[in-house]
Structure 1
Amino acid sequence: MLNKGLRDQESIRIDNVLKTLLSLVFVPEKEVEIEEALKDFGLNVESLFAIPNDDLIFLLDRLHLDWNQQEQFADFLIAFSKENSIDLSEKSIAIYNHIQTESKIFSFGIFNKIAVAKANL
């Protein structure tokens, strides 16, 4: 278990990686930077497609992403899918469902994101 200081540092690092991913997804020529940012999560674009949904969720939990960070990662998957004509919607839906179930707090925002992602399948 991480102590408070390390958790805060880790949370800041994860937030920075997520901000980088979300900012790069809308710039098609930024594929190399997306690969670099994904490395911080032990992923690359190819492994992101190949990893089963449950393993991806386990990885995000193991990396200590909090619920908001997991939601941001799922948002990144949706945005990446739209910009690259690649469907990662099922992975994002699995993450959103995991957040709804495990956080024990119902979020209308996440509920709506699940509905939109399912409509785009």
Structure 2
Amino acid sequence: MLNKGLRDEQSTRIDNVLKILMSIGFLPKFWNVEDTSLIDNDLKNFGLSVETLVDLNENDLITLLVRCHLDWNQLELFGDFLVKFSIVENYNFSGKAIAIYEYVQQESKTFSFGIISKIASAKANV
């Protein structure tokens, strides 16, 4: 178990990585290797890359993110990133985002209309 100081430091680091991922303004319709390597640099903080995101199933992705100590809000934000990244034509992570949202909704034991809305929106894009 992490002590409070390390937990706060780790949470701040995770928040900063998620802010960088969410700050990506323009997503081109098609990505090349150079474009995905920019996102890979940030995803490596979670032990991920664009290719591993493609290869991992929903349960394995959630397990990996939980092992990286993402809290409920951070998991939800990662799901938001996946939905945003799914705009790119050659990647569709909406199913993985839905699984993350449903996991947060179920495991946090807190009902959120915001998450229900995000699930419905992501299902429309699947």
Pairwise same-fold verdict (TM > 0.5): yes
Q: Aligned pair 1:113/2:118, yes or no?
A: yes
Among candidates 21, 32, 39, match of residue 37 of structure 2:
32
Partner in structure 1 of residue 13 of structure 2? 13
Contact 2:98–2:122 (CA<8 Å) still a contact in 1? yes
- Give distance in 2, aligned partners of 1:73 and 1:25: 16
User: Identical aligned pairs, as a percentage?
Assistant: 59
Partner in structure 1 of residue 31 of structure 2? none
Output the aligned Cα RMSD.
1.3
Number of equivalences: 120
User: Cα deviation per residue 1:22-70 (whole Å; 9 max; x = unaligned)?
Assistant: 1126354753221100000001000101001001001111111000000
Going from structure 1 to structure 2, the CA distance change for 1:27 and 1:117 (only over 3 Å counts) comes to closer
- Give distance in 2, aligned partners of 1:52 and 1:30: 23
Partner in structure 2 of residue 60 of structure 1? 65
Q: Aligned pair 1:104/2:109, yes or no?
A: yes
Structure 1 unpaired stretches of 5+ = none
Displacement after TM superposition at 1:87 (Å)? 1.0
One-letter amino acid of the structure 1 residue matched with residue 112 of structure 2:
S
Going from structure 1 to structure 2, the CA distance change for 1:89 and 1:15 (only over 3 Å counts) comes to same
Contact 1:17–1:37 (CA<8 Å) still a contact in 2? yes
With 21-30 and 7-16 compared, the bigger mean Cα shift is at 21-30
Q: TM-score when scaled to structure 2? A: 0.90
Q: TM-score when scaled to structure 1? A: 0.94
Contact 2:72–2:108 (CA<8 Å) still a contact in 1? yes
One-letter amino acid of the structure 1 residue matched with residue 22 of structure 2:
L
Name the one with the larger helix percent: 1
SS of the aligned residue for 2:46 comes to coil
